[in-house]
């Protein structure tokens, strides 16, 4: 498998190794981008020039990409919309300004579904061009999976980082709500919007997040969890492609390995597990995206959001209060638990252009804790399946350590 | 008292009444703005022109102002900073675009402390020019109190709406976190930032918030609370200017009036009541305001925030988790309670230029529920003292109804 051979950025410990890594990435881009179509805009010549400057810093020599919902000074921002009049400001979003200051080289803007809703862009799955890379951070996931970039920035409001990372066989990380500042990122649903990160390995993901969050970049070590909690999905949410069996096997393996690995039924009402995030997100998104003079949406998205403008504030408030109660319940659940383990999607990547179902992520996203995808399995067809790790609010570093352990384990 | 004679916008039910109200406001502005200094920028001629167009809509004929941290197309945005190179984009923030679409006339930008931190601008208190209007939404509070505007937009990250409203004797409302979208408002601390509203009456405040949030503007009726909860402040947080006595009297009066009015001791650790919001806010603000290429701060603010850049993410995360636990605790407290009643400040407005202490607001702000100031009392020196009403997350409309009852009651 080609993706098994991709090295992570933390393994490139010298300027020369980083230069070689970037060179391999730009070669892969030249070879495969015509099929993968991860980028909506890119500038290879500018990237070469910047790399030639040997910029120092923790991200010096790192090629990064940014989802087309994140404002940048040197590329237009179109939010996955076909309407050029939506084009955003030509200034760097907070995350871009910080990444550049840390030494990163922005190769380009990656394909996004229309305003991070389901309508897909042209990107294909690097493992099988007849399949979706997932969405809405479609190009970010695919570009890392295809070996074009060390890091890609995306977002997650429902499942837009965790799911495409799983479909593309890379690491996805959605840090805790608020940990990465979203200034310059088009808002969709402000109490659900998160920045997300795509990388080869969990340690790379945390390397980027820690560098952006603190004044130091950290390389976490794999840490074997002492206690994990599996959450079984109810029959109403069927899992495909052998996901369920793999989870049973994983639980048994972990127990054999001395990890306390308990499984519980979904401890939240199914209706809210499937629908609460939508109630909050659509109410907020209607107000944001349909605000006067703001955005021109395609008719389908406008029709989806329009009715939510009339929805009473008390219904929205009730959904917000249920979320708050679930956050408290989840905080209890994760006490003493190193990671909650659930599938990262309902199966492998669907055929293009269905970007797949966010049901395995949207509820957890609304709860605000960190989530990660580790590319743990591969089907006989060579399609990746991801393990999703969930942590309590703010337990981002610890979750990355546990994720790195699972990541290293699959290579044994 | 001059401020007793100011009518609220909801009382102006005809276009003629609205026109007369705006005329009185612009006359008051001409008479008193040289002393009050509420505006950093304004355009009276443009406001007259817009009013002459007889714009329809729920806010047709309404004069509004916006804190100088909120981006506008027709005025520069300087964030209370003396450095012109900080000037923000010349586009309307979400709240401005929505207010204009609803018919409002933006008179100008109101004075803000430097990036909503304590360093004051020139605004004085309309009740006593030797005193502060409070901060950070200094000009917004003062402009409504002086009768220049029907509505002013501000923000609250700690106590920047509730406290100046109390000092200036007007209604302040900080809706639930996320209810009003903050796009185009300079972020300070993204998990604490709220838009805030200043108006003459609680029904005016909710009229504006409901109009901006739904497709209809609501005029709430005063609703007598059945049950309220007083929270007594510990001795370490002394109240001045007879605040404590007035609260005891109010409790007795409510009980005599058939309201179940219980008083409890502060049910949160004092250290976190005073310090938790700072821990979260400073950590977030350091990353936002000290980001590369963003803002030039005055040395004092830079020195305040700088050390927080090095603070470990796990300490920040621990503060976020304590907040989450307090949110759950507060949700229990307010079950079956129409309003939690606490002082809106520690006393009357301090002498200029100390913008006062946000301790009565910052913890509640971090908890994300709605808060309102009702101008309930007046000292012998003619200085206002405000009652703060707190509600559970999303209980904004109900809180406005209760606040309107207290507001109407003071006039009996």
- Examine residue B241 and state whether it is found in any structural domain, yes or no: no
Total structural domains in chain A? 1
CB contact under 8 A, A320 and B393: yes
Residue ranges in chain B whose pLDDT is less than 50: 1-4, 412
- Examine residue A194 and state whether it is found in any structural domain, yes or no: yes
Query: B167-203: string of b/e by CB count within 10 Å (b at 16+)?
Result: bbbbbbbbbbbbbbbbbbbbbbbbbbbbbbbbbbbbb
- Determine whether A67 is an active site residue: yes
CB contact under 8 A, A291 and B214: no
What's the gap in Å between the CA of B313 and the closest CA on chain A? Answer: 7
Cα nearest neighbour of B287 on chain A = A213
Cα nearest neighbour of A295 on chain B = B94
- Other CB atoms within 10 Å distance of the CB of residue A240: 13
CA dihedral A54, A57, A63, A64 (to 10 degrees): -150
CB contact under 8 A, A179 and B325: no
Chain B environment of A277 (Cβ under 8 Å) = none
Cα nearest neighbour of B367 on chain A = A324
CB contact under 8 A, B98 and A291: yes
Residue ranges in chain A whose pLDDT is less than 50: 1-4, 412
- Other CB atoms within 10 Å distance of the CB of residue B149: 34
Predicted local confidence at residue B5, as pLDDT: 60
- Examine residue A264 and state whether it is found in any structural domain, yes or no: yes
Nearest alpha-carbon partner for A27 in A44, A43, A12: A44
CB B209 within 8 A of CB B197: yes
Residues in chain B: 412
CB contact under 8 A, B100 and A312: no
Nearest alpha-carbon partner for B117 in B273, B288, B266: B288
- Examine residue A75 and state whether it is found in any structural domain, yes or no: yes
What's the gap in Å between the CA of B363 and the closest CA on chain A? Answer: 17
Cα nearest neighbour of A335 on chain B = B321
**d(Cα A171, Cα A145) in Å, to the nearest integer?**
9
Chain A environment of B97 (Cβ under 8 Å) = 291-294
Which member of A92, A288, A318 has the closest CB to residue B181?
Answer: A288
What's the gap in Å between the CA of A129 and the closest CA on chain B? Answer: 38
Predicted local confidence at residue A6, as pLDDT: 74
CATH label of the domain that carries residue B401: 3.90.1300.10
**What are the tokens at A307?**
């009715």
Q: How many helices (H) and strands (E) does chain B have?
A: 12, 11
Predicted local confidence at residue A411, as pLDDT: 60
Chain A environment of B287 (Cβ under 8 Å) = 181, 213
- Examine residue A356 and state whether it is found in any structural domain, yes or no: yes
CB A80 within 8 A of CB A295: no
Predicted local confidence at residue A410, as pLDDT: 83
Q: Where in the sequence numbering do the catalytic residues of B fall?
A: 67, 136, 160
Helix (H, G, I), strand (E, B) or coil at A262: strand
Predicted local confidence at residue B1, as pLDDT: 41
What's the gap in Å between the CA of B2 and the closest CA on chain A? Answer: 35
**d(Cα A366, Cα A351) in Å, to the nearest integer?**
27
pTM for the whole structure: 0.97
Which member of A312, A317, A393 has the closest CB to residue B317?
Answer: A393
CB contact under 8 A, A214 and B309: yes
Predicted local confidence at residue B411, as pLDDT: 60
Which structural domain, as residue segments, surrounds residue B141? 2-224+337-409
Nearest alpha-carbon partner for B231 in B258, B198, B206, B266: B266
CB contact under 8 A, A320 and B394: yes
- Examine residue A144 and state whether it is found in any structural domain, yes or no: yes
- Taking each helix axis from N to C end, the angle separating B313-333 and B270-289, rounded to the nearest 10 degrees, works out to 130
């Amino acid at each position: 498998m080609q993706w098994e051979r991709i090295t992570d950025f933390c393994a490139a410990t010298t300027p020369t190794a980083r230069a070689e890594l970037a060179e391999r990435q730009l070669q892969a881009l030249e070879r495969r981008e015509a099929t993968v179509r991860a980028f909506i805009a890119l500038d290879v010549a500018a990237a070469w020039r910047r790399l030639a400057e040997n910029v120092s810093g923790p991200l010096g020599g790192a090629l990064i990409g940014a989802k087309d919902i994140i404002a940048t000074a040197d590329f237009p921002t179109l939010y996955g919309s076909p309407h050029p009049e939506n084009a955003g400001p030509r200034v760097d979003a907070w995350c871009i300004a910080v990444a550049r200051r840390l030494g990163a080289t922005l190769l380009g803007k990656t394909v996004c579904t229309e305003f991070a809703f389901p309508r897909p862009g042209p990107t294909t799955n690097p493992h099988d061009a007849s399949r979706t890379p997932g969405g809405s951070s479609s190009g970010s996931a695919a570009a890392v999976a295809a070996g074009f970039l060390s890091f890609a920035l995306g977002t997650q409001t429902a499942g837009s980082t965790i799911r495409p990372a799983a479909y593309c066989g890379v690491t996805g990380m959605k840090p805790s709500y608020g940990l990465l500042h979203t200034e310059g990122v088009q808002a969709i649903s402000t109490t659900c919007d998160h920045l997300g990160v795509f990388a080869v390995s969990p340690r790379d993901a945390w390397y980027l997040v820690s560098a952006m969050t603190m004044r130091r970049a950290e390389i976490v070590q794999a840490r074997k969890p002492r206690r994990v909690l599996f959450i079984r999905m109810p029959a109403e949410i069927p899992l495909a492609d052998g996901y369920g069996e793999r989870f049973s096997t994983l639980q048994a393996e972990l127990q054999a390995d001395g990890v306390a690995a308990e499984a519980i039924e979904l401890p939240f009402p199914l209706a809210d597990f499937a629908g609460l995030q939508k109630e909050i997100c659509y109410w907020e998104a209607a107000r944001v995206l349909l605000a006067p003079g703001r955005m021109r949406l395609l008719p389908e998205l406008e029709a989806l959001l329009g009715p939510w403008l009339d929805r009473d504030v008390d219904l929205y408030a009730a959904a917000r209060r249920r979320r708050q109660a679930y956050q408290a319940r989840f905080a209890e659940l994760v006490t003493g638990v190193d990671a909650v383990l659930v599938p990262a999607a309902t199966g492998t990547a669907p055929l293009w252009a269905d970007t797949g179902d966010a049901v395995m992520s949207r509820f957890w996203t609304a709860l605000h804790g960190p989530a990660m995808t580790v590319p743990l399995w591969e089907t006989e067809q060579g399609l990746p399946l991801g393990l999703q790790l969930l942590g309590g609010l703010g337990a981002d570093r610890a979750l990355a350590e546990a994720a790195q352990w699972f990541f290293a384990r699959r290579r044994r």
